[in-house]
Amino acid sequence: MGGPAEGPAAPAAFRRAVESLRAGALRPEVAAEVIRAPRRLAPFSFAVSGEVGAAEDGDGDERGDDGGPGIGTADGRLILLHDPDGQDAWRGEYRVVVLVQADLEPELASDPLLPDVGWSWLSEALAARGCAYAEPSGTVSRSSSHFFGGLAGRDPSTRIEIRASWTPLAAPQAPEGVPELGCHLAAWGELLCAAAGLPPVQEGVIAMPRPGRGR
């Protein structure tokens, strides 16, 4: 899929940053693909979408490998922004923007500390992957749905949404100040897994598929 990151007008530094991001590793539970990036947030951008979900049985119910309850589902996206002139709010030339959404179990949905827990999933994922970053900001929201009429048979549901952004920092010796972004992709994948109810792990990761390859 074409886009600003892949066109001839994209600066070499940004193309190198994109390659660094795409070289990152994701857990096997995460299905990811390159998507069209928004064009209004910065002169150059690159985006990835991802999801974590359980297998379904013949009735459409989520099941684990042993036939018991499966994991939850989560989806989201990661966008890499680049402005060669920098932006004051970023305090840098690059910005990582992420979104993660997931349905919640009733017990967790009613937890008054849920926003703090959701934000801790992100900060812990970044720390676990060794990401250097600055100027983090974001929101953690939850929304409840109650069904009526023809949908009255459905149980109420609650969904969490985590929106965040931060400035990735480059190592002092990095050519042209380009940060290594593979760990940021991995941290976003870990956030997806946490939102889906999976425990954190350090092993069993796989590289994100390149365009044209099977997922």
Residue boundaries of the structural domains of the chain? 12-54+68-198
Which tops the pLDDT comparison, 213 or 89? 89
Between CA 85 and CA 93 the distance in angstroms is 7
Is 90 exceeded by the pLDDT of residue 213? no
Confirm if 3 and 45 have CB atoms less than 8 A apart. Answer: yes
Between CA 76 and CA 159 the distance in angstroms is 13
3-class secondary structure, 175: helix
Is 90 exceeded by the pLDDT of residue 33? yes
Please write the tens of the pLDDT for every residue from 40-65.
999 999 999 999 985 443 344 443 44
Which tops the pLDDT comparison, 159 or 94? 94
**CA-closest candidate to residue 42, choices 95, 81, 98:** 81
- One DSSP character per residue, 117-169 reads HHHHHHHHHHHHTT--EEEEEEEEEEEEE---GGGTTSPPEEEEEEEEEEEEP
- What is the arithmetic mean of pLDDT over 1-26? 79
Structure tokens at 187: 């941290």
- What is the arithmetic mean of pLDDT over 132-141? 96
Please name the residue that has the structure tokens 């402005």: 83
Is 70 exceeded by the pLDDT of residue 7? no
- Point out which residues pair with 102 in neighbouring strands: 74, 160
Which tops the pLDDT comparison, 133 or 6? 133
Is 80 exceeded by the pLDDT of residue 211? no
- Helix 182-195 with 114-128: angle, nearest 10 deg: 150
Is 90 exceeded by the pLDDT of residue 146? no
Which tops the pLDDT comparison, 205 or 166? 166
The overall average pLDDT reported for the chain is 83
- Give the distance from CA 183 to its chain's centroid: 12
Least reliable range by pLDDT among 17-21, 90-94, 138-142, 176-180:
176-180
Looking at residue 39, the DSSP 8-state letter turns out to be S
- What letter represents residue 192's amino acid? L
Please name the residue that has the structure tokens 């100040």: 177
- Helix 182-195 with 12-22: angle, nearest 10 deg: 40
